[in-house]
A = this chain, B = another copy of it.
Amino acid sequence: MWYQKEIRLPSKPRGFHLITDDIVRAMPELKRMKIGVCHVFIQHTSASLTINENADATVREDFENYFNRTVREGESYYRHNDEGDDDLPAHIKTSLLGSSVQIPISNGALNMGIWQGVYLGEHRDYGGERSLVITLNGEE
């Protein structure tokens, strides 16, 4: 069976945010699936999806600080800078981290490890709402 839904997440501050619950809440059909894959896709080029620790919030703060140091704003060689200093770095961070996550479904639930959660990486200072396309495929 296939199920697909587009959801809009409200505007979030720059940084990394846990969105596992938003995904699960949007897809009650998950419960019916014995085996499958959940595919989550973000329709933007300045915000990313990745999977990492769901417990200690300092991991998400350290991520923000690490990526800001690794992909610096205002490098003199950047040519794409009409939209502000956070623009090109946001594109690079998005490709380093990725635009989708794929999670196995087993016995009616996402089969992640107990410490795993889905992060939205908001890489713009004022990114606004963000759209996700969630697609479930599996056997019931």
Contact = CB atoms under 8 A, between A and B. Distances in A.
Given A52-B94, A95-B63, A99-B116, A2 B44 contact: no
Q: Interface of chain A, helix or strand or loop or mixed?
A: mixed
Interface of A: 2-4, 35-37, 39, 41, 43-45, 50-53, 56, 58-59, 61-63, 65-66, 70-71, 75, 77-80, 88, 91-92, 94-104, 106, 111-113, 115-116, 119, 131, 133, 135, 137-139
Contact of A41 (B78, B99, B102): B102
B66 A92 contact: yes
B36 A116 contact: no
Contact of A44 (B36, B56, B106, B113): B113
Contacts of A45: 51-53, 113, 115-116
Q: What number of copies of this chain does the assembly contain? A: 3
A78 B35 CA distance: 39
Contacts of A99: 50-51, 101, 116
A91 B133 contact: no
A80 B77 CA distance: 29
Contacts of A104: 4, 39, 41, 133, 135
Q: Which of the listed residues A3, A98, A101, A119 has the most CB atoms from chain B within 10 Å of its own CB?
A: A98
B62 A137 contact: no
A36 B66 CA distance: 35
